Structure 1
Amino acid sequence: MLKVMTSILLFTSIASAEYVGFSRGNELSATPISGTVRVICSGFNGSGSAVYTCRDTALNPAAYDYFVGPQDSRTDRVELTATHADGSTRSKTMEYDGYRGKSKEAFNLWISTIFQKPLLETGRNTIRFRVFSRNIQPMAEGTFIATVKRDAARQCPTAQYTSSDINDCSSQYSICQRYFEEYNNCQ
């Protein structure tokens, strides 16, 4: 009888366990992508041309994703703290929809700019989550693992664009973003 009760309790706790992690999964891959773009500019503000070698690292399935966690109508904020394989950490906080058990916006997992830093790095990322009520009291907390593995590099075909804005011949960023978007990150 004791074995039956123990088995029932074990299966009940497993069945009631909620998924915690990113909505598209906790196994991600980072793929280096590159390619060459020639831009010919001619318009009201001048003319010119440029050749850019574009490089980036695409995160699959997505560079931004929602945190999915416990459902509790009293909760309204979530804090994620990632400890990377090298021991460094990064924390991000977002509003949380406790009714749905999901962050209200997607977290930046991978994009690095002057104004924003990614939550994850290549390798094993131990994520500590804390879900709060009225920004004061943690209602739930725990950890999960998000792993980013490095994939083989991909090359996009050479492309050529024509632009009516001379600035496109002196600013690589927007051209490379357009290029990788049009070629679906070299897939």
Structure 2
Amino acid sequence: MKVLAISGSTRQLSTNTALLRAFQALAPADIELDVFDRIGEFPVFSPDLEGLHTPDSVIRFIEKISVSDGLIISSPEYVRSIPGGLKNAIDWLVSGEAVIGKPIALVHASHRGEDMLAALRTVLSTVSSNFSESIFFRLPVMKQTPDSIRESLMTSANRPAAEKFLKDFAAFCRSQKSEAANAIAI
């Protein structure tokens, strides 16, 4: 199973990216977890740039989403909302088909951020019919180093919940794929 983990941060030493990379290290052999941390490379979305004018960086992003079985997103909160870079990345997906039925779940690296999470849930449930609000993982590791984030995830207190999150998300992805196949067969 291929899962694309998207960091909503443009920071090089992002807590969210570090948490996704820690999940990458934890992922079982049957889950190939690819971390995407380059949303800052995208130009501001404009319908005038779609189609033949779509930037290569956006085309590669859309291709990664298309071949994935599901998406995990982890994002900081900026001014009580979705960071502009992540919202811009989502805007690039709106008129295409890559994200429409894609299973999506959230991971959160902070003890706060409820306003951003609420806004992101609204946006994601709009762009994908398979956004899951119930599959969610939170580990408050704000301002920690990537090494300490990985260590925190691997502790006996956190690892079982992280493994359950991945297992539940993989099962959700498989069930959605099965439902889609059955719908096509009918």
TM range, normalised to the smaller chain? under 0.3
TM-score (norm 1): 0.21
The structure that is helix-richer by fraction is 2
The structure that is strand-richer by fraction is 1
Greater relative CO, 1 or 2 (CA 8 Å, sep 6+): 1
